[in-house]
Copies of this chain bind each other. A is one copy, B any other.
């Protein structure tokens, strides 16, 4: 069994802990293996743990008025999930679901809070994380509002290629419905947008496999909206 101490991929925050603090962390922390589709946290339920996504990929989603959830963001390995709620409110305000097989560590709320209060560097790392996160939202927000569907899809494809998969040929582990929920559109419009981008020769798509053929053109569409 891997302890927090021996864990090679612990967060920067955890790296800043003293031996004693790391021991506290270790005692109140459980690692769980998830498969795609497993729920990490669920909107509306009491928040008892903070989740740390060690490996894998998850979607952060939220109920709207309409039936389908909206996908707020994709959480990559190294992300803390559910800490927003844990510190002030007690009920999770959003859900998180693994979209790839993932390893997740659950840390008890009380422990998490204690570490923040004990170790300023731990808190500092969390602040960095939260700030970074907020800036991403600002960007996403601006892009979503000012671009139309083709541009938003281009953004998403480039995001998966550059930030997540680091490859020009990759799987986007989202259904067309989920893609729509992510770029704030509909299944049908996503299908058509994929066709548009394929037709002009920027990408090649088979099911969930995307291959970027002409990056420059794709970037141009992303930039022009």
**When the two chains form their complex, are residues A142 and B84 in contact, meaning their CB atoms are under 8 A apart?**
no
**When the two chains form their complex, are residues B84 and A135 in contact, meaning their CB atoms are under 8 A apart?**
yes
Asked if A184 CB lies within 8 Å of chain B CBs, one says: yes
Chain B residues with CB below 8 A from A126, complex form: 123, 127
**Once bound together, how far apart are the Cα atoms of A223 and B119, in whole Å?**
43
Question: Main SS of the interface on chain A?
Answer: helix
Name the residue of chain B whose CB is nearest to the CB of A115.
B120
Chain B residues with CB below 8 A from A34, complex form: none
Chain B proximity of A110: nearest CB distance (Å)? 14
Name the residue of chain B whose CB is nearest to the CB of A151.
B65
Stretch at the interface among A25-33, A87-95, A166-174: A87-95
Chain B proximity of A35: nearest CB distance (Å)? 26
- Listed by A's residue number, 10 A-B pairs whose Cβ atoms lie within 8 Å are A65-B146, A65-B147, A72-B138, A85-B135, A87-B128, A89-B135, A93-B138, A123-B123, A127-B127, A130-B131
